[in-house]
Amino acid sequence: MSDPVYDIRQIMAIMPHRYPFMLVDRVLELEVGRRIRALKNVTIDEPFFRGHFPGMPVMPGVIILEAMGQTGGLLVLASQQPAENELLYFTGMDRVRFRRPVVPGDQLILDVHFLNLRTRAAKIAATATVEGQLAAEAELMATFGEKP
């Protein structure tokens, strides 16, 4: 793989998320206003594996969706700048499907592209793959709103 577009330090400068909920390790490709490809290294020390499931760790589907959403958030924020008092909020999901389990040691490749981009909102299509196999897919929506 080539040099990342964003490493973890650059991602943390853009996104408000922090451990244990930062779910994007590296941005591999970025076409502002079009698409993004990112990487999540899935490790056994992820906090959710203690309870999902003991002795048989499987990454929860909602966590995979959050990783896709964070990747989409990076694409939106690279394409549009929010006002200083705004955050990008996840607002919905459609056509969610889980196709294979994701387990410790996997590298989750997150591919996202815009379906619709407006001034205040975005709709994206996202996939998560492991070694070229589809693990999950979804359409996600987000909008800018005031910080609490």
Q: Is 113 a catalytic residue?
A: no
List the one residue out of 36, 115, 101 whose CA is nearest residue 70: 36
**DSSP H helix total and E strand total for the chain:** 2, 6
Alpha helices (H) along 56-109: 61-79
- Under 8 Å between Cβ of 38 and 14: no
Residue of 10, 22, 31, 52 marked active site: 52
- Under 8 Å between Cβ of 37 and 74: no
Give the Cα separation of 43 and 40 in Å (integer).
9
Active site amino acids: 52
